[in-house]
Structure 1
Amino acid sequence: MLCQKCNQKEANVHITKIINGVKTELHLCDECARESNEANISIPVTFGIPMSFQNILEGFMEMMGGIPQQLVEEISCPTCHMTFENFKQTGRFGCGNCYSAFNDNILPLMKRIHGNIQHTGKVPKRSGGILKVKRDIEKLKNELKMAVANEEYEKAARLRDEIKRLEERLNNKQDKE
């Protein structure tokens, strides 16, 4: 899409304004966006800075008040010897054990970024059988609690039996693997 002001360069700044319920969109190139007062931003706008997980991570760490420096220097992974300071700079772990080593420091960060600390997305059909059964059991247990709270005892009995059946199925699957 070309810039709507100069009609020469590629538009990579997109401004959407909604005033009194009327939506207007403006697509500008970097130069026209800097010259334009449409952005109406009081801080200097710098275009071309790549957005990376590292930048986001640093921003969240600053917002959270950071971690005391002496504590950060002491934390390191026992397997790969990566320090938490290295993780903050790169945004990458050195090995799978870094998750455990830095667990106390990254859990609040992950919860703030993702809204949860446990994966709740899709699971592959072939390899996710056990996980699916576990999720089904948890869902049924919640339904069971609701049924008991609502004094729906027949429904609660059916749910209890279904939970037992799934738990047996889960135990059989785990024994096979």
Structure 2
Amino acid sequence: MECQECHERKATLHFKHIINGQETKVSLCEVCAKKKGYLTYPEEGFSLNDLLSGLFQKDGIPLNAAGTANSNQPKQPQELKCSSCGRTFSEFKKAGKFGCANCYASFDSKVEPILRRVHAGNTKHTGRIPKRAGKYIQQKQLISSHKEELKQLIEDEEFEKAAVLRDKIRELEKANHQDKEAGDNT
């Protein structure tokens, strides 16, 4: 499709205007779109790093180590550094990449609030479970959480509740084992 303005170049941008319920579609090349004021980004455009670095800001204000907006305090805290590779959080923000696997743990206090914002409050990936193995996987996760709860009950010396939970775990494990064997035979 050619540009509706210059009729010389290929239209790469398509705009839809709705004014007083009247819809108008315009297809322009990049040059004409800039002339008309539709494009206001820098000449070189935006990189992926520019986009990612925007995640490290709240309302245009860079985030500090706690993941909150920096105030106008002149005092600068010491920059957080990865103990393994030595990459600083500033370098991570600039490159958009961690230096090593340990960076995830080193920068957790700064990255966790960002992930919470990006993923609408969810910081734990649950993913999708295949239908075939879904029941088995869910039961396994339930058993795992019950075992953690059991450890806590034992530490708190609540042995009666721990015994009841232990029996429940055994029943779930037995049922899960039987379900798995039945599924393997089909």
Unaligned runs of 5+ in 2: 65-69, 144-167, 181-186
Normalised by the length of structure 1, the TM-score is 0.60
Q: Once the two structures are aligned, what percentage of the paired residues are identical?
A: 32
Normalised by the length of structure 2, the TM-score is 0.57
Deviating above 6 A after TM superposition, structure 1's stretches of 4 or more consecutive aligned residues are: 128-131
1:14-163 aligned at under 5 Å gives the runs 14-36=14-36, 39=38, 44-52=40-48, 54-63=49-58, 64-67=61-64, 70-71=76-77, 73=79, 75-115=80-120, 116-122=122-128, 132-133=137-138, 137=142
Unaligned runs of 5+ in 1: 139-160
Any conservation in 1 of the 2:139–2:172 contact (CA below 8 Å)? Answer: no
Shift of 1:120: 4.0
Give SS of 1:15's match.
Answer: strand
Structure of larger gyration radius: 2
Any conservation in 2 of the 1:2–1:8 contact (CA below 8 Å)? Answer: yes
Distance in 1 separating the partners of 2:135 and 2:104: 23
Shift of 1:33: 0.6
| Structure 2 counterpart of 1:61, one-letter code | F
What is the RMSD of the two structures over their aligned residues, measured on CA atoms? 3.9
Per-residue CA deviations over 1:9-49 (Å, capped at 9, x if unaligned) read: 23233322222333322221111012225x3x8xx443551
Per-residue CA deviations over 1:52-74 (Å, capped at 9, x if unaligned) read: 1x21222232325321684362x
User: What is the count of residue pairs matched by the alignment?
Assistant: 141
| Structure 1 counterpart of 2:23, one-letter code | K
Alpha carbons of structure 1 residues 135 and 33: separation in structure 2 relative to 1, 3 Å: farther
